[in-house]
Chains A and B, each alone.
Chain A
């Protein structure tokens, strides 16, 4: 299982991204981290290049709806919509449903236990090209 932890947009807060990356690595997943301030297009390219199963977006700037939509649209346009997208960060409760509407398969707002985040990734992650893809 391979995941890309990504920081889209201009937000410079990477504590959560790096903590989740370490926890996923300890849980036995292969983890790639983009570093800060990547554009949605750069994230789409890296996800495809690295052939990941899941992209985890970490957004604390409030711009999560737009950035998540851009990444999901980019993956679709590139024919890579079998890559799941999950989102974590500073996300008010009212936006969780909206993120799922644009195609996020899981949302981890502030306050989500780390073990729940890891479990959330593991349930998203499924063999590529499998029956349910």
Chain B
């Protein structure tokens, strides 16, 4: 009989039974949906009360183009937005910065000033639509722009629901949109959490991500372990500011990936919810049940897809959607079948949305809470996964904690090592991928075939540059200078920078100017290069 081992290193037996749960307090470990420790999900009736939110990651070109695609998906039943920004925006470079050449509007929407955010959300009521902003190093200024747009639309602050990603620690591990050194970067994360908790009670000012770390190569257990370590680091940061845990913890949210190995993913999320609930209640003393709940976007991972025979990725996406539903996702997003080639075409985006809708409406996965609960295999696997996650969290402690591990590059090196191990497992076929390392067909003719791919329009940059020049011309230069000076001064001290950033934003200071005002004080991160 062949051996089966999961990505987390857990061996799988051919059959499971009651003996696999012997000695465990099943009632305490598993409980009921909507009850501590939330192994079975955070709501008593899960999708019978409220289906997961469908939130495809979208953004490209100019704000006007992105606005058009938002409206297209909303017209097809998508109920929330997830904004992709281009790389210059994510790194705080204006579109006319020499380093932005060739990258403006390429992998997301270009934003230079508040005028761009106003245009991106024109006709989209921000008191009713919830919007995720995939922004980290520049989370504070971009979220400030979002709050300013909502205010100008007349949306009351208490009705604004936005989730800036704002998870800088994982950017140092994977994804790489860091700008400042670790400590001032953490200060900005905390400033945004604190400001939002006080003024925008329904915003989720951080989305702690295991997603990108797993997509960069780590295992399922490491993904959850690193995410929980990062969450704990942010909690400690806020406690150190004198906030009470229940003042901000109910709005902490998560973003994790999900591949098509269904039961491993389900066990990862069930174990993660349990560990998070216990950590928040027992370690941090949270008393509000909402502070114990691991609320997560589960986004399918593009790394699970293949370049070979890309249409097969539609099928992989369907299994991922099923796994995410069975895992108890609050929000779902899927990669598109053309991910290996470029950013998604409109057709590929629509197929991804339809896949989630078919899962929701036709598959039965949404009919009852945690349909896999009580399965000998799933409960035993959840327990085994919990042990692995705890072991990985202990390994982080041995590196000196997550913040230290990020500074030294120890964690980046471990993720790279795991990525290489996984690649070798693909090469040997230990991890099977149909049409890539098994059941390989006529690959040559397949790769010759042209997909209908998104084509980048280089004129986008010209339009964006013209827009930026116009804003610079028309704004009140003295107000901009004064606001930027205030920001630099406050960056030298320790006050919350959000009010100063908001003043800059409302004066139409550019993102690049705001970034520079802070960089003059904070300096730049030096990457510990290890592989």
Chain A 12-54, CB within 8 Å of chain B: the 1/0 string?
A: 1111011101110000000001111101000000000000000
Q: Using a CB-CB cutoff of 8 Å, which residues 72-114 of chain B contact chain A?
A: 87-88, 90-91, 93, 99-103, 106-107
Task: Assess the B531–A22 pair: CB atoms within 8 A.
Answer: yes
Q: Could you tell me if B87 and A111 are in contact, using CB atoms closer than 8 angstroms?
A: no
Q: Is the CB of B423 within 8 A of A19?
A: yes
Contact call B531/A110, Cβ cutoff below 8 A: no
B438 close to chain A: CB less than 8 A: no
B102 cross-chain contacts in A, Cβ below 8 A:
9, 63, 65-67
Known: A10-B99, A22-B420, A62-B107. 8 other contacts (CB 8 A): A10-B103, A12-B171, A18-B217, A18-B419, A21-B531, A22-B416, A33-B531, A109-B341
Q: Is the CB of B306 within 8 A of A63?
A: no
- Which residues of B have CB within 8 Å of A10? 87-88, 90-91, 93, 99-100, 103
Q: Which of chain A's residues have a CB closer than 8 A to the CB of B306?
A: 111
Q: With a CB–CB cut-off of 8 A, which chain A residues contact B436?
A: 111
Complex-state Cα separation, A14 to B450, whole angstroms: 27
- Known A-B contacts A9-B87, A61-B87, A114-B427; the reply to A93 vs B99 at CB < 8 A is no
B465 at the interface (CB under 8 A from A): no
Residues on the A chain within 8 Å of B423, using CB: 19, 23, 114
Contacting residues of chain B (43-91) with chain A, CB-CB under 8 angstroms: 87-88, 90-91
Q: Please give the residue numbers on chain B whose beta carbons come within 8 Å of chain A beta carbons, in ascending order.
A: 87-88, 90-91, 93, 99-103, 106-107, 171, 174-177, 215-217, 303, 306-308, 340-343, 416-417, 419-420, 423-424, 426-427, 436, 447-448, 450, 453, 456, 527, 529, 531
Q: Please tell me if A113 contacts chain B, counting CB pairs below 8 Å.
A: yes
The distance in angstroms between the C-alpha atoms of A42 and B456, with both chains bound, is 27
Report which of A18, A39, A63, A115 forms a contact with B531, defined as CB distance below 8 A.
A18
**Chain B residue contacts of A39, Cβ below 8 A:** 99
A19, B456: Cβ atoms under 8 Å? no
A54 CB to nearest chain B CB (Å): 17
Structural contact, A110 and B171, CB atoms closer than 8 A: no
Q: List chain A residues, Cβ under 8 A from B450.
A: 93-94
Chain A contact residues: over half helix, strand or loop, or mixed? loop
- Given the complex, which residues of A lie within 8 Å of B101, measured CB to CB? 66
Which residues of B are found within 8 Å of A111, using beta-carbon distances? 306-308, 340, 436, 447
A36 to chain B, nearest CB (A): 5
For A94, the chain B residues whose CB sits under 8 A away are: 450, 453
Can you identify 25 A-B contacts, CB atoms within 8 angstroms?
A10-B103, A11-B87, A12-B171, A14-B176, A14-B216, A15-B215, A15-B217, A15-B303, A15-B416, A17-B531, A19-B416, A19-B420, A22-B416, A34-B529, A35-B529, A37-B176, A39-B99, A62-B107, A90-B341, A91-B341, A93-B448, A109-B307, A109-B341, A111-B436, A113-B427
In the complex, which residues of chain A have a beta carbon less than 8 angstroms from the beta carbon of B453?
A: 92, 94
Contacts of A36 in B (CB 8 A): 176, 527
Q: Is the CB of A63 within 8 A of B529?
A: no
Asked if B342 and A93 sit within 8 Å, CB to CB, the answer is: no
- List chain B residues, Cβ under 8 A from A91: 341
Contacts of A15 in B (CB 8 A): 174, 215-217, 303, 416, 419
Q: Are B341 and A61 in contact (CB under 8 A)?
A: no
A61–B419 contact, CB under 8 A?
Answer: no
Q: Which residues of A contact B100 (CB under 8 A)?
A: 10
B106 near A62: Cβ-Cβ < 8 Å: yes
Best-buried of B87, B343, B417, B436 by chain A (most CB within 10 Å): B87
Beyond A90-B341, A111-B340, whether A12 also contacts B176 by CB under 8 A is: yes
Check if A90 sits within 8 Å of B340, measured CB to CB.
Answer: yes
A23 touches B341 (CB 8 A): no
* B420 nearest in chain A by CB position: A22
Cβ < 8 Å to B, chain A residues 40-99: 61-63, 65-67, 90-94
Most chain B CB inside 10 Å of its own CB: which residue of A12, A21, A113: A12
A21–B87 alpha-carbon span in the complex (Å): 24
Q: Give the distance in Å from the alpha carbon of A109 to the alpha carbon of B308 in the complex.
A: 11
Give the CA-CA distance A35 to B524 in the complex, in Å. Answer: 14
- Give the 9 A-B residue pairs with the shortest CB-CB distance, closest first: A12-B176, A111-B307, A10-B87, A66-B102, A110-B340, A35-B529, A18-B416, A63-B102, A110-B307
Alpha-carbon gap, A108 to B38, bound state (A): 45
Closest partner residue, chain B, to A32 (CB atom):
B529
Contact B341 A93 (CB under 8 A): yes
A93: B residues at CB distance < 8 A? 341, 447-448, 450
Give the CA-CA distance A66 to B102 in the complex, in Å: 7
In the assembled complex, the CB of B440 is this many whole angstroms from the nearest CB of chain A, namely 11
Chain A residues with Cβ under 8 A from B307's Cβ? 109-111
